[in-house]
Amino acid sequence: MNFCSDNTAGAHPKILAALSAANGGSAMPYGNDELTKRVEQKIAKIFERECAVFLVGTGTSANALALAALAPNYGVVYCHPESHVNMDECGAPEFFTGGAKLAGIPGAHGKIAAADLDRAIKAGGIGVVHHSQPAAVSLTQATEAGTVYRPAEIAAIASAAHAHGLMVHMDGARFANALVQVGCTPAEMTWRAGIDALSFGATKNGAFAAEAVVFFDPDRARSFGYRRKRAGHLWSKMRFLAAQLDAYLEGDLWLENARHANRLAAELARGLSAIKAVRLEHPVEANELFVTLPETVIRGLEADGFRFYRWMDDSSTTPRLVTSFETDPAHVAAFIASARRHAAAAA
Amino acid sequence: MNFCSDNTAGAHPKILAALSAANGGSAMPYGNDELTKRVEQKIAKIFERECAVFLVGTGTSANALALAALAPNYGVVYCHPESHVNMDECGAPEFFTGGAKLAGIPGAHGKIAAADLDRAIKAGGIGVVHHSQPAAVSLTQATEAGTVYRPAEIAAIASAAHAHGLMVHMDGARFANALVQVGCTPAEMTWRAGIDALSFGATKNGAFAAEAVVFFDPDRARSFGYRRKRAGHLWSKMRFLAAQLDAYLEGDLWLENARHANRLAAELARGLSAIKAVRLEHPVEANELFVTLPETVIRGLEADGFRFYRWMDDSSTTPRLVTSFETDPAHVAAFIASARRHAAAAA
Amino acid sequence: MNFCSDNTAGAHPKILAALSAANGGSAMPYGNDELTKRVEQKIAKIFERECAVFLVGTGTSANALALAALAPNYGVVYCHPESHVNMDECGAPEFFTGGAKLAGIPGAHGKIAAADLDRAIKAGGIGVVHHSQPAAVSLTQATEAGTVYRPAEIAAIASAAHAHGLMVHMDGARFANALVQVGCTPAEMTWRAGIDALSFGATKNGAFAAEAVVFFDPDRARSFGYRRKRAGHLWSKMRFLAAQLDAYLEGDLWLENARHANRLAAELARGLSAIKAVRLEHPVEANELFVTLPETVIRGLEADGFRFYRWMDDSSTTPRLVTSFETDPAHVAAFIASARRHAAAAA
Amino acid sequence: MNFCSDNTAGAHPKILAALSAANGGSAMPYGNDELTKRVEQKIAKIFERECAVFLVGTGTSANALALAALAPNYGVVYCHPESHVNMDECGAPEFFTGGAKLAGIPGAHGKIAAADLDRAIKAGGIGVVHHSQPAAVSLTQATEAGTVYRPAEIAAIASAAHAHGLMVHMDGARFANALVQVGCTPAEMTWRAGIDALSFGATKNGAFAAEAVVFFDPDRARSFGYRRKRAGHLWSKMRFLAAQLDAYLEGDLWLENARHANRLAAELARGLSAIKAVRLEHPVEANELFVTLPETVIRGLEADGFRFYRWMDDSSTTPRLVTSFETDPAHVAAFIASARRHAAAAA
């Protein structure tokens, strides 16, 4: 009964089947195959416009390669201090950009506010050679706090960024989870709101290892192919990366997977908030919860076989609980029951 | 009938089956799973010693990450001018090392001679701040010319390198092909001959996307985990990378696959050399041939549906022919017959 | 009457004379000259121990090169958020380290507190591959706020750093100003308190363009010569860099220059604090003041011909005032008188 | 009697005087001073067009910064294998570009031939992601062999480069020496022949430490100011860099200095070629000679107190002899006499 992360899940059977189906005969390598082209077209269709699409195997590479295409080495990338790009990639954006700075814009519930971004950019010394230059902003959707930006919020941020010539990146490792929550179209969530480049995640939501970087202005992507290759992220047997995304995007599998994960997260939130002495730290809008519990309850849950991370460190009494496309509803029910029982015992 | 590359092949059914088998239930991410540990142990056993093992998805990342662990940014990495690291990785070694120089040591049939390396190092200005410093040598095994270094040749090169404090890397994208040709043990081919770090390839020989970087002195690998993460090459669902290598190394699958490819390459070589007006450019010791043919024969083969690259450019009359673990012997026979027929017609 | 910065000053006549004296005849380039050796010995003597000394022309290069020798590309360098390395070098430390992260530790009056550093390091995830690794701390002495660390404060910081394996750098662009304020020896201010590498500044205190990077453990400096050269900071006619430092360190010129600047800053502080409606933002311990004044007073001073920067932006009512080795005491008196007059008029 | 290099010379008295003259009063830092503006205007006038001018202290930084503005990190910079950028900068171009490749185009007497460049570019795989992309060519004027490109040769090279979209850089560390030899205008030697960016050297020809990077299309230089700062090459007391160039370019000092050096090199060449058993390796067109001599003659010269480097290594019998603006004609006469005497004794 593992609530550690959505990456402890396996791959969806349909995606495994697609990999198997892609395995017949020979195919040209490095993306010069039919499946890759088909995926590119599917993504263009989903986003309702021409776009430049690049497949890679990991979310960190998607983010870092995208940022390297948007920011020069003397640039500043604004992001939430707790964002994955800033905290959990061991400096990948710094590496890929050649030493750009990531500047944290704090904000409640994992979100950046447009006004704070605007203020930071204005204080950033545009045109002054002594300072790294404001170049891009990176939003995480859904955020690391399990919350979701609405299109209007994104538009406000993008507008602040564009007003000063900055580009806007969205880390969509949990893009599907955000999308089904908001109920808008992929286009409304991205380029119509001002997003320039998207890390479109599939790994956490049912793939083995598959992400796409999407540039809504293909001109911005001119150097991307070289950067991907020189970073070792161009798969030779690319059809196997493409096959995952092809199945992922077929017949709404990606949305169904996200709906399942979100629904169980909501259920968990509902069940736990009914318990006195339990506090939800953030609104539950995707597939993550941050729940403060009495230490004895946490130990009881651990003893009952539930696995999760205490956030942000081992002595914390706020476990993070993550659901995925394959989380068993029975595990959710069992978790709530266990928490209730231990809370009652402690009271 | 595709002879373009061994990466036009798919994955071996046993490797697909392993992926499927690995897909049940949850597993801890980022290599903290059982399969990854098992693969590490298998590799240590195959190489008959403790070693540090890191799994990645592509050969370019394996090479570039290994070189970054062996050479500082002010270093020189010696390699054959036509080696993959120098020619076909869009500068990945330069990127990962932070700007080390790759210096070509030309040599017949894709191989570096120890004496030439020694001469280059001695002329390299060790200790002189004006010059990038000799730091490492990278051998390709099997080479880009389809030839194979013998352990004694490797030992001579490693000895020249070590005498001046340089580290020795082996790009083993086709390690299995070399190994079955020489008939020695993996240990004899590597650390017993002086190799410090190995890119141990599986992708070209039956995996989807799986390579291992092996350091024979684990101390050399202290920074590797950070470098892999910050390059975006740490898979979250690592079990699916490990599962490929687990099956690859089970019951000699890797050696059988390589034997199949090599045997067909040898057969192709035998059949083609019997044709007058055909010239093999290099000894055929692995799964690649470089065959100079009359232009009309090449066009005839193309017209008959055979695919291959002209080497090094489109106007060349030297096709490169590559066999793989799944090359159909009938295709080889058909190729020889077609070449013979067109050659006869041209005579 | 320029109080903008100590770098609006020229060079001290004795340093000019030394340059002229060094100009006779030929000298071996790149530091293989007598003057460079003499400066290295002088610095070793001043710091009372063997050390590795490297001359460069700018403070930014001294800092960035030093940090690149202390922190790997996957490292974190802790520093005050307003420090020069973080704010005013357009990302030089990030460039020279290959993408290390600079993490700000806020603290009153431009200083880091040891306890805050300790907390940050402990939260930094040492050994966890997802996070850039705590690697070094950089102190500015005197600080950007015009304050000075005492040896005991430095020792506490260094002790927190060393306890976790981090190296300690001191940006001593205004080292002399700090030293004469504290009244300790250079050794007490640095290696005896735990400093590993020092940017020893001379430019702001009387040189044309001359700084030294000093490593108290020469082993730490093994790569420095290559890094300096490959960054373009190895002067060919090195004697002219050395000559500046030779004169700077001769007969206490460096300390006299700093005493002059500090004395006038103190005088300015005394004079201004006597004026009601004037507030000093930080203790004045070196050659910089941050003085909050009514807008009309600021405009009056500007109209009277005084030049200074409003800190941190053009609409601020806190001018920064900097004195130097050549600041005219009459200008200081005039400044105070002008401020007093305009303040009286405004009251 | 030092013929080692033109950087064993000091600075010209007029340049020292200019430094002294610039030392009165305060001046705004970082290039916001009058002298810097004046130098920029002088350079624009000399080159007969608007251009973007950036002052730095060393030739290596001038070259590496210029190349970083012209080539992306996935780029290839073509140059002569023995050029300074490739051989003598410890990988500075690789560092500043973030890992571009330097590709050597061999050619007689230190020069690249346009046809060879054209061939290399065509074989460079433009548009193919596997290969670092042809991006720039760097010429050295005068070359490392002491020879000089004529404007027509430069134009042919630039034309080959531009035809494929590459930019053209000239390393003019000895620009003045080349110019007085050819007798054309600075414009004819550079932008009229297709040069995009020039490292305009002064250090070797009479300055302390002063070079200018000149972009003939200012648009190309948009990132340069940030790159210079983040590389630590923006001097705070910039007037002292500017003062050197101001004097250097005043009243043809730069051309007179170069004429003196070239004349003495020619005299040396004339005198030495009259000796049997002496062979000049390259035409003597600037201020460097490469002279093959019997070992006994070399030892005799050394014993007589002449200093020079054996080229390229200590066992070579080809000394490199370099003259400078302050070489004493008597030393040249003495050198010839000594060589003649030892050659006679050996015969």
Residue of B100, A311, D236 lying closest to C10 (CA atoms)? D236
Q: Do A7 and B62 touch (CB under 8 A)?
A: no
For residue A276, the tally of other CB atoms under 10 A from its CB is 9
Element at B117 (helix H, strand E): helix B114-122
Bridge partners of residue A53, in order along the sequence:
A214
For A269-305, the pLDDT digits (tens) are 999 999 998 999 999 999 999 999 999 999 999 999 9
**Overall average pLDDT of the D27-42 stretch:** 96
Please give the pLDDT value at position A346.
84
C128: CB partners within 8 A, 6+ apart: none
C175 has a pLDDT exceeding 90: yes
pLDDT at D191 over 90: yes
Least confident of C195-199, C251-255, D22-26: D22-26
In the prediction, which pLDDT does D24 show?
85
Q: What phi and psi values does residue A242 have, to the nearest 5 degrees?
A: -65, -40
| Closest of C347, C76, C69, C73 to residue C220, by C-alpha | C69
Cβ contact A130–C95 (<8 Å): no
CB-based contact C226 B129, cutoff 8 Å: yes
pLDDT greater than 90 at residue A313: no
Chain C residues in contact with D2 by the CB 8 A cut-off are 26
Give the C-alpha separation, A182 to C214, whole Å: 57
SS3 A90: coil
Per CB-CB distance under 8 Å, the chain B contacts of D95 are: 73, 98-99
Q: Sort out which chain D residues have CB atoms less than 8 A from A227's CB and list them.
A: 74
Count of CB atoms situated within 10 Å of the CB of D256: 16
Residue of C nearest to A82 (CA): C131
- Here the tokens at position B306 are 């055979």
Q: CA-to-CA distance for A292 and A272, rounded, in angstroms?
A: 10
Contact D209 C234 (CB under 8 A): no
Is residue D49 within 8 angstroms of chain C, CB to CB? no
Can you read off the two tokens belonging to residue D96? 């500043």
**Nearest CA to B203 among B228, B183, B227, B175?**
B175
- With 90 as the cut, is the pLDDT of residue B347 above it? no
Would you tell me how many other CB atoms lie within 10 Å of the CB of residue A179? 25
Coil, strand or helix at B229: helix
> CB B235 to CB A209 under 8 A?
yes
Beta-carbon separation of A130 and C89 below 8 A: yes
Yes or no, beta carbons of B91 and D313 under 8 Å apart: no
Closest-CA residue of chain B to D82: B131
* pLDDT tens column, D64-109: 999 999 999 999 999 999 999 999 999 999 999 999 999 999 999 9
Residues 6+ apart with CB under 8 A from A110: A80, A82, A83, A140, A143, A144, A145, A146, A147, A282
Q: Report CB contact under 8 Å: C23, D16.
A: yes
The set of chains that have 3 or more CB pairs under 8 A with C is: A, B, D
Asked if the C-beta of A144 comes within 8 angstroms of chain C's C-beta atoms, the answer is no
Contacts of C263 (CB under 8 A, 6+ apart): none
Mean pLDDT of chain B: 97
Cα distance between residue C39 and residue C28, in whole Å: 15
In this complex, the chains that touch A, judged by 3 or more CB pairs closer than 8 A, are B, C, D
> Which of the four pLDDT bands, split at 50, 70 and 90, describes residue B312?
confident
Rounded-to-integer distance, Cα B264 and Cα B256, Å: 12
**Would you state the pLDDT for residue B314?**
87
**Nearest Cα residue to D248 out of D287, D288, D285, D208:** D208
Which of C68, C60, C100 has its CA nearest to residue C227?
Answer: C68
Rounded to a whole number of angstroms, the CA Rg of chain C reads 21
- Specify the amino acid at residue B100: A
Q: Is the pLDDT of residue B227 over 90?
A: yes
Which amino acid belongs to residue C335?
Answer: F
Query: What percentage of chain C exceeds 70 in pLDDT?
Result: 100
Closest CB to D91: pick one of B89, B91, B99: B99
Minimal CA separation from C5 to chain D, in Å? 8
Extract the tokens encoding A35. 């499946």
C225 close to B (CB below 8 A): yes
pLDDT band at D257; cut points 50, 70, 90 = very high
CB contact under 8 Å between A74 and D227, yes or no, is yes
> What does the block give as tokens for B244?
């490929």
> Residue C235 is nearest to which of D8, D58, D89, comparing CB atoms?
D58
Assess whether pLDDT exceeds 90 at residue A314.
Answer: no
Cα–Cα distance for residue pair D102/D136, rounded to 1 Å: 10
CB contact under 8 A, D90 and B131: yes
Contact yes or no for D99 and B98 at CB 8 A? yes
Give D249 to chain C, closest Cα distance, Å: 20
Please report residues of A whose CB lies closer than 8 A to that of D74.
223, 226-227, 230
Tell me the mean pLDDT in the region B322-333. Answer: 97
* Residue whose C-alpha is closest to residue A84's, from C119, C131, C95, C127: C131
Alpha-carbon distance of A91 to C174, in angstroms, equals: 31
A232: left (phi over 0), alpha (psi -120 to 50) or beta: left
Tens of pLDDT, residue by residue over A56-107, are 999 999 999 999 999 999 999 999 999 999 999 999 999 999 999 999 999 9
- Confidence band, pLDDT 50/70/90 cuts, at residue D347: confident
Residues 6+ apart with CB under 8 A from C137: C77, C78, C79, C112, C117, C157, C158, C161, C166, C167, C168, C169
CA distance C235 to D60: 9
Say what angle helices B253-273 and B329-346 make with each other, to 10 degrees: 20
In this structure, what are the phi and psi dihedrals at residue D181, rounded to the nearest 5 degrees? Answer: -70, -45
A167-172 and A133-140 beta bridge pairing: parallel
Q: Please, what is the average pLDDT of chain A?
A: 97
Q: What is the mean pLDDT of residues C298-318?
A: 95
Q: Which of D16, D56, D58, D86 to mutate to test binding with chain C, by most C CBs within 10 Å of its CB?
A: D58
Whether residue D74 lies within 8 A of chain A, CB to CB, comes out as yes
CB contact under 8 A, C16 and D11: no
User: Given CB atoms, is B309 within the 8 Å cutoff of chain A?
Assistant: no
| Contact assignment for C56 to D9 by CB distance below 8 Å | no
Number of CB pairs, chain C paired with chain D, less than 8 A apart? 163
**Average pLDDT of the residues in A198-226:** 97
3-state secondary structure A111-151: CCCHHHHHHHHHCCCCCCCCCCEEEEEEEECCCCCCCCCCH
Whether the link from the prior residue into C142 is cis, omega within 30° of 0, is: yes
Tell me what the mean pLDDT of segment C59-86 comes to: 98
- Class of residue A110 by CB neighbours under 10 A (exposed 0-12, middle 13-18, buried 19+): buried
C28 band by pLDDT with thresholds 50, 70 and 90: very high
Residues A124-135 have a mean pLDDT of 97
Nearest residue of D to residue A127 by CA position? D226
Q: Is A129 in Cβ contact with D74 (below 8 Å)?
A: no
Question: Parallel, antiparallel, or unpaired for β D75-79 and D101-104?
Answer: parallel
What's A278's DSSP letter?
-
ipTM tops 0.90: yes
Alpha-carbon span A41 to C128, nearest angstrom: 39
Q: What torsion do the CA atoms of A308, A309, A311, A314 make, to the nearest 10 degrees?
A: 130
Q: Read off the pLDDT of each residue in C230-246 and give the average, rounded to a whole number.
A: 98
Q: What is the pLDDT of residues B271-282, one digit of tens each?
A: 999 999 899 999
pLDDT digits (tens, 9 = 90+) for D200-255: 999 999 999 999 999 999 999 999 999 999 999 999 999 999 999 999 999 999 99
Please tell me if residue C230 touches chain B, with a CB cutoff of 8 Å. yes
How far away is chain C from the Cα of B184, in angstroms, using its nearest Cα? 36
CA torsion, ordered B273, B277, B283, B285, to nearest 10 deg:
-40
Taking contacts as CB-CB distances below 8 angstroms, the residues of chain C near A73 are 91, 94-95
Quick one: CA torsion of D178, D184, D188, D194, rounded to 10 degrees? -40
pLDDT value at position C346? 83
> In whole angstroms, what is the distance from residue B63 CA to residue B93 CA?
7
pLDDT of residue A316: 94
In whole angstroms, give the CA distance from residue D156 to residue B204. Answer: 44
Chain D neighbors of B88, CB-CB under 8 A: 130-131
Task: Please say if the pLDDT value at position B231 is more than 90.
Answer: yes
Band (pLDDT 50/70/90 cuts) for residue A122 is very high
Which residue does chain A place closest to D31, by CA atoms?
A129
Rounded CA-CA distance C49/B61 in Å is 45
Mean pLDDT computed over C174-182: 98
Is residue D280 predicted with pLDDT exceeding 90? yes
Question: Which chain C residues are within 8 Å of A173, Cβ to Cβ?
Answer: none
Give yes or no for D222 touching A (CB within 8 A). no
**For residue A228, which residues of chain D lie inside 8 Å, CB to CB?**
129
CA separation (Å) from A149 to A66, A108, A188, A259, C128?
20, 12, 12, 17, 30
Write out residues 82-141 of A within 8 Å (CB-CB) of D.
98-99, 129-130, 132-133
Give the number of residues written for chain B: 347
Sequence letter at residue B254:
W
Instruction: List helix spans (H) across chain A.
Output: 13-21, 34-46, 59-70, 84-87, 92-97, 114-122, 151-163, 175-182, 186-189, 224-230, 239-248, 253-273, 295-303, 329-346
Most A CBs within 10 A among C7, C85, C101, C122, hence the mutation to make, goes to: C101
